Amino acid sequence: MARGRIEKRGSKKRKIKPVVLIVTEGSKTEPVYFNHFRTRQKNIDVRVVGSRSSSGETDYGSLIRKATEYRDKDDLSFTNGDTVWIVADGDVNYNNPNPIEKKDTALSHARKLAKQKGMEMIISNPCFEFWYLLHFRYTTGFLKDYEAVEKFLTVHIPDYEKTKDVFLMLEKHLGEAIKRAKQLEGYHLQNGNQFPFGITVNPYTEVYRLIEAITS
């Protein structure tokens, strides 16, 4: 089946497994990672759709529209146990005026819209690669952007690049990554932040929630 296409639930006469639809901001890194779960999970049907705005900057509204399109086109139903997850970055463009405030407002609106549609929106701030980094180390220090995360990540994966499939390198540290993500979440809560976190909370990632959902 070609990437980006989703087989309709009624196209095969078999017992229907709950679908976990994952719509990712990235067209490379995230799909490469999550597609590994398609073959590892037998009791659910994991489907991954990559996306990227033409500007290269995170467009939360576009991600929600794409998720809605695939959910409706393939007749996914929450009553059948299907779930829809949107995976996005904080991705602040510091060249914009009031960049953090602007991005925080956009994220807040997007979270509300996703919730209204029954979708789960999970954020990594500043970027998805921070989830990778938590497989190797815990940190609470501010990370401005992808380049800042990459600097630390390449200590553990020297030849890392966005198109590189590092799943097998990460898999053995998955439990540690989940533990560190939860620890970091607790740290931010103790410092007066409220869940769900906004862009002002940095660094953090909610990817562990999706991982627990598809591996439980």
pLDDT digits (tens, 9 = 90+) for 80-117: 999 999 999 998 999 989 999 999 999 999 999 999 99
Domain that holds residue 168: 9-215
Q: Is residue 13 situated within a structural domain?
A: yes
Assess contact for 84 and 57: CB atoms under 8 A.
Answer: no
CA nearest to 86, candidates 119, 116, 125: 119
User: Within a domain: residue 91?
Assistant: yes
**141 within a domain of the structure (yes/no):** yes
| Residue 1 belongs to some domain of the structure | no
Number of alpha helices (DSSP H) and beta strands (DSSP E) in the chain: 9, 5
Task: Determine, yes or no, domain membership for 2.
Answer: no
pTM for this entry = 0.90
Domain tally for the chain? 1
Evaluate whether residue 154 is within a structural domain: yes
In a domain, residue 4? The reply is: no
Beta strands in 78-185 (DSSP E): 83-89, 120-125
pLDDT digits (tens, 9 = 90+) for 50-64: 986 545 567 999 999
**Contact (Cβ atoms closer than 8 angstroms) between residue 132 and residue 95:** no
Q: Worst-scoring range by mean pLDDT, 36-50, 96-110, 112-126, 158-172?
A: 36-50
Q: Is residue 158 part of a domain?
A: yes
